[in-house]
Structure 1
């Protein structure tokens, strides 16, 4: 039987654990939230003296926090030597990246990003045939025993700076002899090629998670020390609900936010 004293303890909830991060990381996190929430709008000048007084921190700590925000492209140097709040993350709409276009038309996702003044480019790093694909890919593509897969490695850059590493997997029988195994980038994007081959993407399932980067990911993407990765694991299905492509992308979280639009499911 719960005593009155125990009931009061339960109502109070678990004891709070103090934030163990270094002070400059805590300040970075709080200022980042103010910027991304709109509390501190673009164009606001962040002055060292004001921040040290408001936050109760020394100048060195505030300087390190502001440097973190600059590395995340949330602030930029101001004419008077202070920092000014800059642009926010780029909003990406994943559904637009699956729309096929004609063979001579550019990839619509790249067109949208370039309209925002960003020089976005894909670089094909490597293409390889996998005699024994990873178990997760075998399951996602519903591959039979001994069935091979093709893996393409892509690097996405914004204005020449690394933004995302993308792995794209296909069943070998679908793409054998195409531009994909020919190790060439595809004008119009992979969805256009799949549609041309008779495998249009009709349904996609995304699994989005956050994680700390591996050493390789950190090196290639040149990530600030305070930034995690967004990971989007997507399976695209075609006619007969056959899975035709798996995309496993890791994206620098300080550069992206993902926007999904959907309607509530009808009751069954």
Structure 2
């Protein structure tokens, strides 16, 4: 692997130049996903810099989410996103009819083993933005389902669904196992045939709790997808607030040109 040398005439600090060299090596494919980066000691010797300078260079790449540190093993190029989320297909009825919720269908396509844990079910007053999206009255309550999704035992997403309580009460939506096809299959079983979804996508840094639950390194952002599901009568039946580990996902949208 060609790392180059420090240019002392360059206005960039040595740590930035080293980070640029490592970044270029990743972009060229000299360092592939899963490959170990040169250690701080190796960088210190190669560039004739202080160890702190080498550490700052590696930290820059960690803050970008390009590399991950594994305790006792070193720093490695981050593996590519395991899940491609195709919005135009993930909620297709064919998946529910096959007994698959959206995440299970996506994981199957990606060739990863899906799992769900940290399932919590509650009844409560909704946040103001959820109340507005669901068109609820001030004193209405919602069913709340929170869960964490994993791909090959790696946590990649935390999702919280809010449903008008009358739609969920007395159904498997209030159980840990919602049954084949998930929440949306149970809504359709009850006569609320789904018509369309509206999603809002933003990005931000995670909260301390999100960082812990998703096992994120410092500096790694999250994607926030807030989805509202509507039935054929135009009634909003669910709001799902999803926080995704940004490096774990590719969000793909197939948009007709009409």
Q: TM-score, normalised by structure 2?
A: 0.74
| Residue of structure 1 equivalent to 2:144 | 151
Residue 85 (structure 2) pairs with residue 92 (structure 1): yes
Residue among 256, 264, 268 paired with 2:249? 256
Aligned residues: 240
Partners in 2 of 1:105 and 1:47 — Cα distance?
46
Q: Secondary structure at the match of 1:254?
A: helix
Residue among 203, 210, 214 paired with 1:217? 210
| Conservation of the 8 A alpha-carbon contact between 2:220 and 2:246 | yes
Cα-to-partner distance string for 1:90-127 (whole Å, 9 max, x where unaligned):
32223333223456623354233234332121225211
RMSD: 3.9
Cα-to-partner distance string for 1:107-162 (whole Å, 9 max, x where unaligned):
354233234332121225211111x2111011011112322111100101122122
Unaligned runs of 5+ in 2: 1-10
The within-5 A match list for 1:74-153 is 74=67, 85=77, 87-90=79-82, 91-100=84-93, 101=95, 105-130=99-124, 132-153=125-146
Q: Secondary structure at the match of 2:197?
A: strand
| Residue of structure 1 equivalent to 2:8 | none
Q: TM-score, normalised by structure 1?
A: 0.71
Partners in 2 of 1:26 and 1:217 — Cα distance?
32
Unaligned runs of 5+ in 1: 1-17
Partners in 1 of 2:189 and 2:129 — Cα distance?
27
| Conservation of the 8 A alpha-carbon contact between 2:67 and 2:75 | no
| Conservation of the 8 A alpha-carbon contact between 1:72 and 1:255 | no
Residue among 217, 225, 230 paired with 1:232? 225
Deviation at 1:31, TM superposition (A): 5.6
| Conservation of the 8 A alpha-carbon contact between 2:64 and 2:219 | no
